[in-house]
Amino acid sequence: MRIYGKVFGAVLGWMLMRHPAGAVLGAVLGHVFDAGWLFPDKSSGGQGQKALALEEAYRTLGVEPAASDEEVERAFRRKISDYHPDKVSGAAEEIRSLAESRAREINSAYEAIQKARKANSGE
């Protein structure tokens, strides 16, 4: 829990108003700053999270963000053929589980890239 703004606000409020109400008002204003209500951190949510997820999606498929749609699809098909659960249907449960998990990651990455590209193209 962040308290620096509250403490600083209370001290500053007390010094400026020379009254306990000044300390309370300063602490409330400090809380507003600590909570990020005035200046929300853009890297901790919203577009920042989406950008990080998209970077991870490109990394999962092993392509650059500048790759063409055809390159992305080729990378997807290559990765999914390597990790498709049907290829290891006779293997141990752990291996099948790992293949299913990896196939889900690859599918999610491909869908995220497709969705982002569709949104950016204005369709």
Same domain for 54 and 15: no
Residue 92: per-residue pLDDT: 87
CA distance 5 to 14: 14
Residue 46: per-residue pLDDT: 54
pLDDT tens digits for range 71-92: 999 999 999 998 888 888 888 8
Farthest CA pair distance, the chain: 78
Same domain for 31 and 10: yes
- The average pLDDT across 29-37 equals 72
- The average pLDDT across 95-119 equals 91
**Percent of the chain with pLDDT strictly greater than 90:** 33
Give buried/exposed letters for 95-111 (b at 16+ CB in 10 A, else e).
ebeebeebbebbeebbe
- Total of domains in the chain: 2
Same domain for 109 and 51: yes
**How confident is residue 53, by pLDDT bands cut at 50, 70 and 90?**
confident
Same domain for 52 and 111: yes
pLDDT tens digits for range 2-30: 666 777 677 777 778 888 888 888 888 77
Same domain for 79 and 104: yes
Same domain for 73 and 114: yes
Residue 85: per-residue pLDDT: 84
Instruction: Check whether 114 has a pLDDT greater than 90.
Output: yes
Domain of 24, in residue numbers: 4-40
Cβ(110)–Cβ(72) under 8 Å? yes
What is the domain-level CATH number for residue 74? 1.10.287.110
Same domain for 74 and 27: no
Cβ(113)–Cβ(57) under 8 Å? yes
Same domain for 104 and 59: yes
Same domain for 114 and 84: yes
Same domain for 105 and 64: yes
Cβ(13)–Cβ(26) under 8 Å? yes
